[in-house]
Structure 1
């Protein structure tokens, strides 16, 4: 099944508190990797993003943490960092190990607030000690994600680009909509592979122009957070450029996107297991592939969501499946 785990050199794990409901999803690099970030929403919640900017001095990234919980969820990266240090990961300074763990959060608070530090540590253990987890939908940081009119979720997809592999992982909690205003047709349908989110073909009359957003939305109830990973060797500047370009995948799958009410934060990471893309067309192809893979991941996350007791909106499957 198409997943970010298809990228050589990455592990991925989830943890959730179903009573909250909320959770954490963490990508772990087998070896420290190069990363960049692009924030294109008006209400982000992030950690360690400044350290990823081009020209900054810093070691490689050990993990990237995606969490629910609004600002409380930023503590999940603490749990990941501490657990990695206990395993001997991170750069050494004065007898200490310092893992680098950037992260971002979505707003999904609906019940009792869980221990996000503990959830972060659990997601790391799941990534490193458990079997490969390719679940989609209502899992990890996507446990209580919502979009306009439909329950959101965690999505992932992958594709080949020449000799490289590109994968995406996303938590879809957008203020906008991923489908037409008058039916089940996904905006990302032109990029679908093997009927992975229903294989539906929209009629010419399908309404993709009407603006649909969450009713009664508060300014920080939203955010899409994502990771694009590749084994293609990239510099820090190239990883940042990939993060910028991959944001097109959100615009291809969600309308409206990148709004004042979204936090839209996207990390790009390179494991360096494959050769660098040829300049310049190899980088163009890599960016286009990343955007398409991310668009597919968005649709797959919503398509795979399952019902929960505190849901504000129905799942795609309950309406159309």
Structure 2
């Protein structure tokens, strides 16, 4: 099966067309897990309820990263999406592994409008399921029908190491009172940029792209990942719970040193200093404190700065996409997807 249709597709059409390619392979892969980790993974992925009943299924993720793998493959060589499916599945597995772990680390109780996996099955079970998905990702990619399997595995492994390093940096930032903006940006580059860069590079690699093309696609995805993180951090403070599936001010409630928060705290403004004081005590607690913290981030310029940075990173990403010499219609589709990533509301 290949993704072909006359004229470039809109971003939502790209995502919709990728799902029937990726989801059967993703379900088949998760189906090979032992029952203990399979039930947690399937619940997290929205396929069934806590008892394994498909009638208890919930919303699935947007699958942006797996769609980027397939779109990057097609942008490199026409009708090559099928060859990149193992890469798309592997990236989706790693991403969901990180979400399972993140929910435990951040003590988040809601994801995609229902209880997080750890609150249903236990923290240990969620961590083990996340570990299982990481190993499964390597197994799926190792089965790709490509001469580039070994470099693809190394590429995925390197991205996972960067992602884990970014997660460690995120934890360190939460404990520090002197978090710097450069450290926060480096953390986001690892935690989010690395896997999105890997997704785009993997698609190009599995489609037979040149080393130069692969690198440009990697940097396209890396900058797109940073733009994604800025948008994600804005939604973590001001996103609508009805759309995001998370409580209002969720990142502030968890005392996360997100990009707009750290910008505000290091701005040298009165609002920034008040925000620092608020975080140094017990942190924002209660709806009034949370609303005040959100207002301080905005007054100190954090919201405006993060929005501008998302636009800057998007522009850098698109320059690398152009340099990769993608096929015409496929380039238009990737641009549409990139803009969706930055302009999304959930």
User: Higher relative contact order at CA 8 Å, sep ≥6: structure 1 or structure 2?
Assistant: 1
Fold-level similarity (TM above 0.5): no
- What TM-score do the two structures reach when normalised by structure 1? 0.31
- What TM-score do the two structures reach when normalised by structure 2? 0.30
Q: Which structure: larger Rg?
A: 2
Higher helix share: 2
